[in-house]
Structure 1
């Protein structure tokens, strides 16, 4: 099998995965393990074929790359599946855990974290953050981005500063609970990344949030 044919098979696999996607739920009907295996196989096939210096056995090298890529992708997907499930079981129902396939997103609404215009984390919310920290320590091979967001009420500069301070407060609790500081970065996005309309009270409430993004590193 030559490189072109192997690459075509890999691409076909990814197209088939996209075709299986349910646009209403963004669900493919496949587990993250299966999705990771397919994506890893496609990438591994291409890299395996194109990184062969002597060009003599591209088909063999592409196939080998596909096998190794599938194994790595399946392992990463399975790890995220298990970590996401453990997170959902350990935090309160107000905390949303989303598995995006390549990373996990933990969404904490402002209402459970902070008083209005405050960056001090509430007592009940600290329990959830300690649960997240325990999970992060159980799955240490990741980097953590703590991202603060606000609505558009008030001055943009003030909102940017508030979102940064809130992100730092959440990050500080994670590191105080034992997460290595080198894994964690705090980022303020202010009002720049709304997830709902700022034209309604419910929309503004959704926009006031802190997200913990968990990105695997290996």
Structure 2
């Protein structure tokens, strides 16, 4: 009974702190740090009980601290990136799982049918690199995408080259290459209709996913 009350107290305190204000929009949003703490607390309690632990309340508190730290770490990073990317054409979205997605449209990153970074886009990548160096606990997945015009094999290679170009630039700006995974998708994952020019423009993109770490030092 005492353990159940402690778990309930952890959950209640986290839910009360579960809302925050987005600094770029002024809208109320879910506080990922609080929800991370809630998930961590409940997870710690569940694992403790499943393994016959006698200190379920303690394990819930430990789980809450770890989960809350990760959630807050990722939310702070997302807020900074949203401010930095305003007006650049790059969208920033934090997912319910805590990961952060950045979408870089091909119209601002590369010339048509080319894998050389536009010089005008490099200052945006400089800002991104500075934040990734500051928040160095998470890994980074860089995915290249194309539209469906042309040969599928050619498009796959082009998406690889473009993702590599972004990865290489970030690495040159101090982001450890060991943190980066590059994945080419070519034309296989469209987000819009390839039968229209507007749709093809949306499909030509590079996506970065900043993966939530297992723990935060």
The TM-score, its normalising length taken from structure 1, stands at 0.81
1:59-103: CA deviation from partner (whole Å, max 9, x where unpaired): xx3322222112211111111111111112223421101111421
How far, CA to CA, are the matches of 1:163 and 1:82 in structure 2? Answer: 30
How far, CA to CA, are the matches of 1:167 and 1:181 in structure 2? Answer: 13
Corresponding residue of 2:175: 179
Figure out how many residues of one structure are paired with residues of the other and give that number.
197
Cα distance, 1:198 vs structure 2: 1.9
1:73 aligns with 2:90: no
Relative distance call for 1:128 and 1:164 in structure 2 (3 A) is same
Corresponding residue of 1:39: 39
Cα distance, 1:157 vs structure 2: 0.8
1:106-126: CA deviation from partner (whole Å, max 9, x where unpaired): 110000000010000001111
Cα distance, 1:32 vs structure 2: 1.0
Corresponding residue of 2:23: none
How far, CA to CA, are the matches of 2:211 and 2:42 in structure 1? Answer: 21
Is the partner of 2:149 in helix, strand or coil? coil
How far, CA to CA, are the matches of 2:36 and 2:195 in structure 1? Answer: 38
Q: Aligned Cα RMSD in Å?
A: 2.6
Corresponding residue of 1:97: 92
Corresponding residue of 1:19: none
The TM-score, its normalising length taken from structure 2, stands at 0.82
Cα distance, 1:148 vs structure 2: 0.5
How far, CA to CA, are the matches of 2:127 and 2:104 in structure 1? Answer: 13
On the 8 A contact 2:85/2:92 being kept in 1, the answer is no
Tell me which of 101, 106, 110 is aligned to 1:110. 106
How far, CA to CA, are the matches of 1:195 and 1:35 in structure 2? Answer: 29
Name stretches of at least 5 consecutive residues in structure 2 with no aligned partner: 16-26
Q: What aligned pairs does 1:144-183 form with structure 2 within 5 A after superposition?
A: 144-183=140-179
How far, CA to CA, are the matches of 1:28 and 1:196 in structure 2? Answer: 29
On the 8 A contact 1:150/1:208 being kept in 2, the answer is yes
1:153-188: CA deviation from partner (whole Å, max 9, x where unpaired): 111111111000000000000000011111112111
| Structure 1 residue ranges (4+ consecutive) displaced by more than 4 angstroms after TM superposition | none
How far, CA to CA, are the matches of 2:63 and 2:197 in structure 1? Answer: 46
How far, CA to CA, are the matches of 1:63 and 1:188 in structure 2? Answer: 45
